[in-house]
Amino acid sequence: MFLNCNNKIFAQLSAPELLFPPDNSIEAPLTFLIIWDNVIDATSYRIQISEDNNFNNLVCDESNLDNNYFIVTEYIIDFSTTYYWRVQASNENFTSVWSSIWSFTTYEYVSSYFVWLLSPSNNSLYVPTTALFTWFEVMFDEVNYHIQITTDSLFNNNRY
């Protein structure tokens, strides 16, 4: 907390908590959302995406973002590459420290028909039986989805 010359108290901003994609994600598509938690009193965010975890080789440095997400596109990232990302929160008085650094690795090749599961996360434990499955849609108008749920990784024991 800080007191300014008008005796107004200001609180420093917390670093954003990263939410999606999960840290060390693999097989990420070339277009998806990066999502972080809203920070109390933040009015904008800055995101950096880099090919190295020291952020010396930035592929994206966007500031003044109004929302707690950023759309990553094929114009920013490439196939078969590991990227590192972090976020800062700001308001008129403060800029937070950087968030923790998370990474994702893109697919070697992504078919236009690829569907990427958002939730529940892969290998989630204690998922309720009423879980809502969400995913990024493929980029075609006429698409039907079929979901398979199983208790084994070879899908020999399908439940649905």
> Do 76 and 154 have their domain in common?
no
> Do 88 and 123 have their domain in common?
no
> Do 31 and 56 have their domain in common?
yes
Q: Which DSSP category does 81 fall into?
A: -
For the stretch 34-43, pLDDT in tens is 999 999 999 9
> Do 18 and 44 have their domain in common?
yes
87 within a domain of the structure (yes/no)? yes
> Do 67 and 99 have their domain in common?
yes
Is pLDDT of 7 > 80?
A: no
For the stretch 91-101, pLDDT in tens is 999 999 999 99
> Do 101 and 29 have their domain in common?
yes
25 within a domain of the structure (yes/no)? yes
Q: What's the rounded mean pLDDT across residues 96-111?
A: 85
Total-model pTM = 0.66
> Do 94 and 119 have their domain in common?
no
Q: Cα–Cα distance between 23 and 114 in angstroms, integer?
A: 21
Judged by average pLDDT, the poorest of 2-6, 24-28, 61-65 is 2-6
For residue 56, what are the domain limits? Answer: 13-106
> Do 116 and 55 have their domain in common?
no
Between residues 143 and 15, which one has the greater pLDDT?
A: 15
Is pLDDT of 19 > 60?
A: yes
Residue 160 pLDDT grade (very low, low, confident, very high; cuts 50, 70, 90)? low
What amino acid occupies position 90?
Answer: S
65 within a domain of the structure (yes/no)? yes
Q: Cα–Cα distance between 41 and 13 in angstroms, integer?
A: 7
Cβ-Cβ contacts under 8 Å for 25 (sequence gap 6 or more): 103, 104, 105
Residue 143 pLDDT grade (very low, low, confident, very high; cuts 50, 70, 90)? confident
- Structurally, the chain folds into a number of domains equal to 2
Omega before 128 within 30 of 0, i.e. cis: no
Nearest to 88 by CA among 109, 124, 64, 122: 64
Beta strand 2-3 with 69-72 is: unpaired
